[in-house]
Amino acid sequence: MKRKFVQIAALFLVLCLVAGNSAFPAEASGAALDDRIIRVGLAYNGYQSRTIDGANLANSTGSGFRLGYFDSSNQFVQLGATEKTAISVVMTRNVGFGTSGGYESYHTALAESAGVVVGCYHLQLPGSYATFEEAQAAAAAYEGGFPAYIGGAFYARIANCASREEALAAQEQYAAQQVQTELAGTSAYGVNVVITGTDTILFQYDDQGKGTGLGIMPDAAGGTENFVTLFNTAAFGRNNNKWYGGFRYERVGGGNLTVVNMVRLGDYLKGVVSAEIGGSWPIEAQKAQAVASRTYTLSNLNRHSSSHFDVCPSTHCHAYSGQASTTSLNVQAVEETAGVTVTYNGKYASCNYYSSNGGATMSAKDVWGSDYPYLQGKADPYETAAGIRNAWSKSWSFSDLTSKLGFADTVSSAKITAYTEFGNPLTIVFYTRSGKSYTMTTAQLVRALSLSSYRYDLGPNGGNKTDSSVGGSSGGGLSVNGSPVSGGAAGMYAVDGAGHTVQVSGNAWVITGSGTSTVEEWSGGSGDTGDDGLYYGTNGSFVISGRGAGHNVGLSQWGAWAMAKQDFTYKEILEFYYTGVTVG
């Protein structure tokens, strides 16, 4: 189960929610919507990923590859083709073939040591050519020749040199044979297509910073079948996965390779549903996931516009790992809901979802700060009835807790002062040893402490509470003459063994129900919440426990599973979790 945690760029999520409801009116539904090309970043500078020096492609179905670019409408424009079934795309820098950073491909770090090196200096024959085939034919007359597409024109290039001196020496040799050439390189945006594991260049492409990038589609013959390609990016956990569609390789800003899967929305969703909830869940739960993911994607296009793609393959957008684990149920769920979306007042809803809520969802306003009528908190009887708990517990020393919360003084106790009507915390007050108090919203606390969900309580029993009970256990706590003390030992006095009255400092000890402990660390033994409702800790630690996994806003994936098990349709599931929406 993939979790969509609130810790990821909460403000950015709010901005995406706004865009999803003001800038993206719903398109006409229907199967044609699933033919729209979605740009999915696989390797890029950003969340859980990075750019790379080289990437390998191999045919899974089809034979060979088409080479070109994707235009402003994301339509592929073919320039040429190769019958080779295993190719790599590398930067036009010196790169060596081998294993580095966890995967085997071409790396700049191996340029000095590898046995196979693709150099960045070449020689160019005079003139330009009208087509890929003409440039390829001219280059083929010379060893190591290859066609190049530089700034919109075709050229024929020869030689593969790792240094300028080597290229100049080769130029002299050709000149002695009456072959005139000029020293050639590419800009910081150039890429080479090579036969994997060799230094043989098949094609060189340089858009000179125009942002098109090199496009590659499977099947050199240009068939209409839905071919599958193996793409090797083992460093990112997607080693040799199968991918529908094509790929775009761009050196964004002149950097290393950003790799983007250019794929039909329908094919993309098959991989999303598989990665998000697996391949064996009830079909109505899978349909609900497919429709939610379709809508979320359409309402968040260009989310990664700075890297020139729409969505990423992590839980920041959608978990997505191609088609390697896609099952027939995943395919069925997508195809039987083709073109179906969730709308509110004629606009795509931002269909946020998460793993489970532990018994109640949250309103978007209480998590991200903006109010949306279809993202409202509510009790979830379906998770509860199905016994879905996902109980969790986290603990900290009081000094570590203070550091994580950024307080200047050590925390001594805390209290939840407001709840939603469904039992999820809204505000929490922390008291320090000097008597100060700090109020935090639940969203601030969840982010600061990386809590697993928004349904929690202070103390070790939050994950075990019933849905009708809120708050910790009673009894215990540090008290003087029956009155709770929230500031620890600060300002206290005691009578020492000689009968003298002294101010408490350092390692003062008290007798507790379970033995003895220092005043500063005492938690009240097994009774951790005082009569004043303050939580003082548990056995020297500050504990928060709860149920659920994720941000609790919108669709619960486990809730969808539970509803499907009770024979609810995917529309009924979506209409329960998204208030007042239209599904169709």
The CA distance from 345 to 521, in Å, is 55
Do 404 and 509 share a domain, yes or no?
Answer: yes
Position 483 scores a pLDDT of 43
Do 326 and 407 share a domain, yes or no?
Answer: no
Do 194 and 235 share a domain, yes or no?
Answer: yes
- Asked if residue 376 is part of any domain, the answer here is no
Residues 6 or more apart whose CB falls under 8 angstroms from that of 147 comprise 80, 129, 132, 135, 136, 139, 154, 155, 156, 157, 203, 204
Do 352 and 436 share a domain, yes or no?
Answer: no
**End position of a domain, from candidates 228, 261, 294:** 261
- Asked if residue 281 is part of any domain, the answer here is yes
Do 233 and 366 share a domain, yes or no?
Answer: no
Do 450 and 528 share a domain, yes or no?
Answer: yes
Task: Give ∠ CA 190-196-200 in degrees, rounded to 5.
Answer: 65
Position 3 scores a pLDDT of 39
- CB-neighbour burial class of residue 102 (10 A; exposed 0-12, middle 13-18, buried 19+): exposed
- Asked if residue 386 is part of any domain, the answer here is no
**End position of a domain, from candidates 203, 233, 261:** 261
The CA distance from 133 to 146, in Å, is 10
- Asked if residue 177 is part of any domain, the answer here is yes
Q: Angle between the 265-277 and 283-299 helix axes, to the nearest 10 degrees?
A: 120
Do 113 and 48 share a domain, yes or no?
Answer: yes
Do 354 and 451 share a domain, yes or no?
Answer: no
C-beta atoms surrounding 283 within 10 Å: 14
pLDDT along the chain (584 residues), means of 10: 38 37 55 92 84 92 94 96 96 95 91 96 98 98 97 97 96 97 95 98 96 95 86 56 93 94 96 95 98 95 87 88 92 97 96 97 97 97 92 97 96 97 97 96 98 97 59 42 46 59 55 45 46 89 97 98 98 98 97
**Structural domain count, the chain:** 3
- Asked if residue 4 is part of any domain, the answer here is no
Instruction: Look at residue 156 and give its three-state secondary structure.
Output: strand
- Asked if residue 392 is part of any domain, the answer here is no
Residues 6 or more apart whose CB falls under 8 angstroms from that of 390 comprise 355, 356, 358, 452, 453, 547, 548, 549, 558
- Asked if residue 390 is part of any domain, the answer here is no
Position 372 scores a pLDDT of 96
Do 211 and 82 share a domain, yes or no?
Answer: yes
Position 327 scores a pLDDT of 96
Do 81 and 210 share a domain, yes or no?
Answer: yes
Instruction: Look at residue 363 and give its three-state secondary structure.
Output: coil
Is the Cβ–Cβ distance between 65 and 219 less than 8 Å? yes
Do 283 and 332 share a domain, yes or no?
Answer: yes
- Asked if residue 5 is part of any domain, the answer here is no
Sign, CA dihedral 423-425-426-432, equals: positive
* Residue-by-residue DSSP string for 22-52: HT-BPPPPSGGGGGSEEEEEEE-SBTTB--B
- Would you state the structure tokens that stand for residue 435, as one six-digit string? 């008597």
Instruction: Look at residue 271 and give its three-state secondary structure.
Output: helix
Do 500 and 559 share a domain, yes or no?
Answer: no
Position 302 scores a pLDDT of 81
Q: Per residue in 208-242, is it b (16+ CB within 10 Å) or e — as a string?
A: eeeebbbbbbbbbeeeeeebbbbbbbbbbebeebb
Range of the structural domain that residue 335 is part of = 10-38+272-370+554-583
C-beta atoms surrounding 570 within 10 Å: 26
